[in-house]
Every structure is written in C-alpha cells, then in structure tokens.
Structure 1
Amino acid sequence: MRIALLGGTGDIGAGLALRWATDSDHDIVIGSRDPEKARETAAAYEDTLADQGVDRKLTGFANEMAADRADVVVVAVPAYHVTDVMGAVADRLDADTLVISPAVGIASGEHGLHYNPPSAGSVTALVADAAPDGVDVVGAFHNLAADRLADLDTELDADTLVVGNDEGARTRVAELADDITGLRALDAGPVENAAEVESLTPLLINLARYNDDLRDVGVTFE
C-alpha cells in the first residue's frame, strides 16, 4: 500500500513515517510544499532507519505528486493549513483514496493549551468538507506524543481513537494503526464525535507541562 504523508517533514509525519517503515512493508512517500525539502527529509529518515538496522527506501515529492496514486493520504499539517493543502491535492484524490486527518486545532493560553475547533466543529470535519465527493475521511493519530512516536528506541503502548462516517474506512485505518507495534486503534464512531477525540490532545500536553513524569504522555483505555 502506498501511504503519502503530506507535511511528512513535521513531527507527527516523521513519527508515522518511521514507524510504518519499520513495522510494515507499505510504500512510504513524504510530501511537502517544497519538493527538495521532501527529498532531503526522506533521505534523513532512511538514515535514521539504517541506524536501527532497517533498510528501507522512502521517496519525497511536492504534496500534489505525493498524493497522486496514493492509496492513503495523511494530511499531517497544522490545522490552519489543512484547507489549503486539501485544495492543492483535491484533483489527485478519487473514491479509492482514503484520507486521514491527525490535526488538532489548538490555541495557546497563559497557563496552557486549549482546544480551538474550526467553524466546522472539528478539524476532521473540516478535512471531510474539503475532500472531493466520494472520498472517505477518517480522523486518527491525534493524541499520540510525536517525540515518542518518532523515537524508534522507545516502545509504544498507546491507543488511538478513530472517527469517520464510513465504518469500512474506520476499519481500514484501524488496520493501518495496528501495523505499528504497540499502537491499538479503537473505534470512536462517526465524524460527529471528532471534537471530543481531538480535544484530548491539549489536555495531554498540559498534563505533560505540569507533571515531569508524564513527558510524552499518551492514553490507553481499559
């Protein structure tokens, strides 16, 4: 399966790229607005993998080219960029493309971070509204600590909540999440529930800020 990580040069994109490259045989493509940055980042990820004894080839392209013919497109960009990025790649998506949104709207306050959803109600809903008709959009990977995800010397033990209007699409994303060792996907229902899922992210960051022993904290459900 070909997975294109748009904004794959950023924190969450790096973690997902490295984990999928280590734990699966998916074809990983790094996307960026700057194709040269995408190529350089893909090469840097290859070096990181090689240090772990993993021999993998990653490629880097401009976002539009990365999305072209991808089976899965992960829109791993900040919330305020998702509409522009979706508009740029819309003509490269079709009914066979699965789009994943891990972005969260966050505002900074004096004492911490706060959930700041767009007018659509959630970033997942915003991406779904921007996607072409017939393209499934699923929210996932919101609540993962990016540094922990990208540190291949650290074992994961975390859950990710999956939201989307199509049950089959949620199942596909859950399978992709389960490809990553130590990550468990849980079905959180339709996009209507995305705000509750996304709002966990600033809470976790605030916990890490005020508790030294909770750095890179994640969530598990029992």
Structure 2
Amino acid sequence: MRIALLGGTGDVGEGLALRWGYHTDHDVVIGSRDPDDAHAAADEYAATLSAHGRERKLTGFRNGMAADRADVVVLAVPPYHVADTVDSVADSLDGDDVLVTPAAGMQRDEDGFHAHLPSAGSVTELVADAAPEGVPVVGAFHNLAAGRLADLDAELGIDTLLVGDDPASKDRVAGLAEDIDGLRALDAGGLANAAEVESLTPLLINVTEHNDGLSDLGVSFR
C-alpha cells in the first residue's frame, strides 16, 4: 500500500514515516508545499532508517502529487491548515482513497493546554466537511507523542483511537496502525465522537508538564 504523509516534514509526519518505514514494506511518500523540503525530509528519514539497519527508499513530492500517488492520505498538518490542505489536493482524491487526520485543536493559557474545537465539532469533522464527496475520512493517531514515534529505539505499547463513519476505511487504517509494532488500534465509533478523542491530546500534555519524569505519554486501555 502507498501512504502519503502531507506535511510529512513536521514532527508527526516524521514519526509516522519512520515507523512505517521501519516496521512495514508499505511505500511511504512525503508531501510538502515545497517539493525541495519533501525531498530533503525523505532523504533524512531514509538515512535514519539506514542507521537502524533498515534500508528503505522514501520519496518526496509536492502535496498534490504525493496524494495522487497514494491509497491512504494522512494530513500531518496543524489543525488550522487541514481545510486548506484538503482543498489543495482535492483533485488528487477519489472514493478509493482514505483521508486520515491526526490533528487536534488546542489552545494554551496560564493554566495549561485546553481543547479548542472548531465550529464543525472537531478537527476530524472539519476535514470530513472539506473532503470531496465520496472520499471517506478517518480520525486516527491523535494522541501519539511525535517524539516517541520518531525514536525507533523506544517501545510503544500504546493505543490509537479511530473514528469514522465508513467501516471498511476504518478497518484499512486500523490495519496500517497495527502494522507498527506496539501500536493497537481501537474503534471509538463514528465521526461524531471525534471531539472526545481529540480532547485527550491536551490532557496528556498537561499530565506530562505537571509530573516529573513523564514525557511522550500515550494511552493504553486495559
């Protein structure tokens, strides 16, 4: 399967690219608004994989071209860029693709981080509203610490919660998630439940900041 990481030069894109590159044989394509940045990131990630004994070729393209070459398109961009990014690649998407969003809206004040949900109800629902008709959207990977993902020496042992209204697409993304060693996918219901999932991200950051010795937290349900 071919996976495109739009905004794949950022922290979340790097972590997912390295994990899929290390643990799977899926084709990983790095997308960016600047193709030179995409090429450079793909080469950097390939070098990291090589240093860990995994020889892989990753490719980099402008976002639209990356999406055009993919079966699953991950929006590894900040929440305030998701709608514009979807608009920019809409012509490259069709009903055979799955659009995945890990973004969680947050704002910070003197007390810490708080969920900041858009009028659509959640960032995931915002993506669904922006997606071309017939393109399924799945929310996943919201609560994963980018630093922990990108550290290939770190064991995961954590869960990711999936939301979506198309069961087949959710199953496809669950399979991709569980192709990563130590990551378990759990079904959290439809898109209407995305706000609850996204709100876990600021909670985890607050717990990290208020407790010494805790960093790059994830969740595991038992």
- Quick check: TM above 0.5? yes
Q: Which residue of 2 aligns with 1:49?
A: 49
User: Which residue type is aligned with residue 93 of structure 1?
Assistant: L
2:221 pairs with 1:218: no
| 1:92-148 per-position Cα deviation (integer Å, ceiling 9, x unaligned) | 000000010000101011121110011100000000110001101000000001100
**Unmatched segments (≥5 aa) in structure 1:** none
2:74 pairs with 1:74: yes
- Counterpart-to-counterpart distance in 1, 2:69 and 2:53: 29
Q: Which residue of 1 aligns with 2:24?
A: 24
| 1:55-95 per-position Cα deviation (integer Å, ceiling 9, x unaligned) | 00000011011001310000010000001100000010000
Q: Which residue of 1 aligns with 2:117?
A: 117
User: Which residue type is aligned with residue 117 of structure 1?
Assistant: L
Q: Which residue of 2 aligns with 1:190?
A: 190
User: Which residue type is aligned with residue 122 of structure 1?
Assistant: S
Query: 1:168, CA displacement in angstroms?
Result: 1.3
User: Which residue type is aligned with residue 132 of structure 2?
Assistant: P
Aligned length: 222
Q: Which residue of 2 aligns with 1:161?
A: 161
Q: Which residue of 2 aligns with 1:38?
A: 38
Which aligned runs of 4 or more in structure 1 are off by greater than 4 angstroms? none
Query: The residue matched to 1:74 in structure 2 has which SS?
Result: strand
Q: Which residue of 2 aligns with 1:108?
A: 108
Where in structure 2 are the equivalents of 1:77-92 lying within 5 Å? 77-92=77-92
- Counterpart-to-counterpart distance in 2, 1:145 and 1:156: 10
Kept after mapping to 1: 8 A contact 2:4/2:69 = no
| 1:194-213 per-position Cα deviation (integer Å, ceiling 9, x unaligned) | 00000000000010011122
Q: Sequence identity of aligned pairs in percent?
A: 66
2:173 pairs with 1:173: yes
- Counterpart-to-counterpart distance in 2, 1:60 and 1:101: 19
- Counterpart-to-counterpart distance in 1, 2:69 and 2:25: 17
| 1:12-50 per-position Cα deviation (integer Å, ceiling 9, x unaligned) | 110000000011110000001111000000000011001
